[in-house]
Amino acid sequence: MIHKKLVNFPENFLWGAASAAYQVEGAWDEDGKGPSNWDAYVRIPGTTFKGTNGDVAVDHYHRYKEDVALMAQMGLKAYRFSIAWTRIYPEGSGEVNEAGLKFYDDLINELIKNNVEPIITLYHWDLPQALQEAYGGWESRKIIEDFSNYCVTLFKRFGDRVKYWVSLNEQNIFIMHGYLSGAHPPKVMDCKRMYQANHIASLANAKVIQYFRKVVPNGKIGPSFAYSPAYASSSKPEDVLAYENAEELNSFWWMDVYAWGEYPKAVWNYLEREGLAPTIEDGDRELLKAGIPDFMGVNYYRTTTYEINSLAGVGAGQMNTTGKKGSTPDTGIPGLFKTIRNPNLEATDWDWEIDPIGLRIALRRITCRYRLPILISENGLGAFDTLEEGDVVNDDYRIEFIRRHLEECKKAITDGVDLLGYCVWSFTDLLSWLNGYQKRYGFVYVNRDEESEKDMRRIKKQSYYWYKKVIETNGKEL
């Protein structure tokens, strides 16, 4: 659809930015915090880029007031951050750590004082290591109770001040990397275990939504799904079918469960035949159907293009964690699909296709299939930034990236998408899990790198000033 006139962003639109505890906080063992699976994982040699870890990260734990002040100066309307489970329950369950609750209490109050709406993510990948060791974390149904208990503690403590909540962040990513590629903790490479752990995570997600309704009746909750819409490489029906396979296996497998409490049919049958489908126990289906979210959170970075893959075709491959452009091999599942570079799109240095229209397609597909409001809980550009003389960072490429994505949001709103907000990943630079500190996303440059913590001073990039203007004009000036 080419619209003659575009509808503007709604008045109460959540112009936001996001982060995650492990990636920004540091203070990994302070004030009673217990170790998480990531605290343990990064200590295994060879797991992360140049051996980086989040022990100090960008020291947000100690500098949160300075960071919130920068948000306030920008006029930011919403800040999405995650809570480290191990600050609240150092062992995952048992006795609550008041110092951990206090940190987030202070952060929330500071945000509210500065007119920034807090959006809490309950789980952004940092599982208590104690639960990993006690019963295998997401592989045991025991986690449903422990996760619920932790979440209810947060609902009770912060539910009076926090309206928007994200349940699981990128369940598809932490489960696939944790249990299939082995690139994340607990470093398992087993497809059967992956689908089982995923099912348990879905049950936990539904359960906390059920509790949320009771404890925070006026709040809004939803998961954040890492959605990379699938394209067919050509109009050849075989390629279109490959795209359908990919969309169902990589996306509907999660989103159908969130929105409908049901697994998609063709992939379910395929996994059952392969002996990979999860075990469904009595009451599971009912629970999934009882935990429907208020909105779909979407983390959008890219689209992926697929073509037919024979039964003898390519399988799993490696991620690009170095920033060496063009180093990602094609991957696939024999008999289902394989990825192919889209010749119509430019890519980032980490080989992520840049596709603003793909965001509109994502929003349209979700709206068409699920009719849920959408929160863009992440979108942004990971790039090498250069700190120039006089503390200047000219990230015009980031401005261009976000501007083009926002234009597509406007078109999607005109299409009829109910868009609640847009959170740029990320507010400050941060630790990019496996990619160290060189892959920068922030509006605010943090002066540190893999080799040295330096002074970690905060420096506003050009994109900071640009986004400030966007917020001031409510997106009329992009």
82 near ligand NOJ, judged by CB under 6 A: no
- Give the shortest CB-350-to-ligand NOJ separation in angstroms: 8
425 near ligand NOJ, judged by CB under 6 A: yes
Reply yes or no on whether 244 is catalytic: no
Q: Which two tokens stand for residue 251?
A: 């996306």
Q: Which 8-state DSSP code applies to residue 125? A: S
Contact 125, 184 (CB under 8 A): yes
167 near ligand NOJ, judged by CB under 6 A: no
Q: Which is nearer to ligand NOJ, 170 or 408 (CB)?
A: 170
- Give the shortest CB-181-to-ligand NOJ separation in angstroms: 15
Indicate the pairing of strand 304-307 with strand 337-339: antiparallel
- Give the shortest CB-21-to-ligand NOJ separation in angstroms: 10
Distance CA 14, CA 377 (A): 10
Of residues 117, 170, 247, 248, which has the active-site annotation? Answer: 170
Distance CA 133, CA 114 (A): 41
Contact 271, 195 (CB under 8 A): yes
Q: Which of 48, 169, 250, 367 binds ligand NOJ (CB under 6 A)?
A: 169
Q: Which segment (322-330, 339-347, 425-433, 443-451) binds ligand NOJ by CB under 6 A?
A: 425-433
Contact 153, 95 (CB under 8 A): no
Distance CA 291, CA 475 (A): 33
Q: Which of 378, 395, 408, 429 binds ligand NOJ (CB under 6 A)?
A: 378
Reply yes or no on whether 170 is catalytic: yes
Q: Of 115, 107, 20, give the one whose Cα is nearest residue 58.
A: 20
Distance CA 116, CA 185 (A): 33
49 near ligand NOJ, judged by CB under 6 A: no
Residue count of the chain: 478
* Total residues interacting with ligand NOJ, rule: CB under 6 A: 9
Show contacts with ligand NOJ in window 211-250 (CB under 6 A): none
Side chain identity, residue 235: S
Q: Which is nearer to ligand NOJ, 23 or 181 (CB)?
A: 23
Q: Which of 170, 247, 256, 284 binds ligand NOJ (CB under 6 A)?
A: 170
Side chain identity, residue 145: E
Residues that bind ligand NOJ (CB under 6 A): 20, 23, 169-170, 299, 378, 425, 432-433
Residues forming the active site: 170, 378
